[in-house]
Chain A
Amino acid sequence: DTEVTQTPKHLVMGMTNKKSLKCEQHMGHRAMYWYKQKAKKPPELMFVYSYEKLSINESVPSRFSPECPNSSLLNLHLHALQPEDSALYLCASSQDSERGGLETQYFGPGTRLLVL
């Protein structure tokens, strides 16, 4: 089983709203990732969690706040977003974030976010 699940599938929010995106995997993976993907572009890395600790933050604005409550769950808290933040948000996981073949990432289906 290489399934990563994400909820919700679609989200519409206003610029003053607070919402959260959720990601879950039960593959025993210890690294989890958030990506942002705009239309017709490749995914852009936002955050990496390794063993439940934030290891990479790609200079993401503070209106995006990640959280890793345990090794199976990854959240992305959203607050005061801008219309340009509208995109597909993808979660991924890998067995580890180190090399040696353990870094192969498996992606969820994404949450399509629209900010009005």
Chain B
Amino acid sequence: GEDVEQSLFLSVREGDSSVINCTYTDSSSTYLYWYKQEPGAGLQLLTYIFSNMDMKQDQRLTVLLNKKDKHLSLRIADTQTGDSAIYFCAESRIATDKLIFGTGTRLQVFP
């Protein structure tokens, strides 16, 4: 099917690491993205990874890609209250001009 799946909710303590997971379906996807959406706002591009890479690190963010299992994860180190938001993974499929979004994970950071 077309679904890109994410767990709905994640709650972490401030200062801990957060890991948000995503499974996708199309093995021909070229780029995989993580977007952040704060309440009432648009989508902010956080990072992306090309499908022939295993890992990408960008400051507090680490993206891991397991192409065999079609599994993508986003690790946020030293999670802060400002990281509370909905996080969407998305895949760019080679056969279309479309971005296919995951269902979104709501991250709640508590003190």
Contacts and interface: CB of A to CB of B under 8 A. Distances in A.
Interface residues of A, number: 29
Interface string B90-102: 0010100111011
B7 to A, nearest CB: 14
B104 to A, nearest CB: 6
A42 B31 contact: no
Contacts of A108: 42
B44 A107 contact: yes
Nearest to A104: B48
Residues of A contacting B: mostly? loop
26 contacts: A2-B45, A4-B42, A6-B42, A31-B97, A42-B102, A42-B103, A42-B104, A45-B98, A45-B99, A48-B98, A55-B97, A90-B42, A90-B43, A92-B43, A99-B92, A99-B94, A100-B30, A101-B50, A103-B97, A104-B33, A104-B45, A107-B45, A109-B41, A109-B42, A110-B42, A112-B40
Interface of B: 30-31, 33, 35, 40-45, 48, 50, 88, 92, 94, 97-99, 101-104
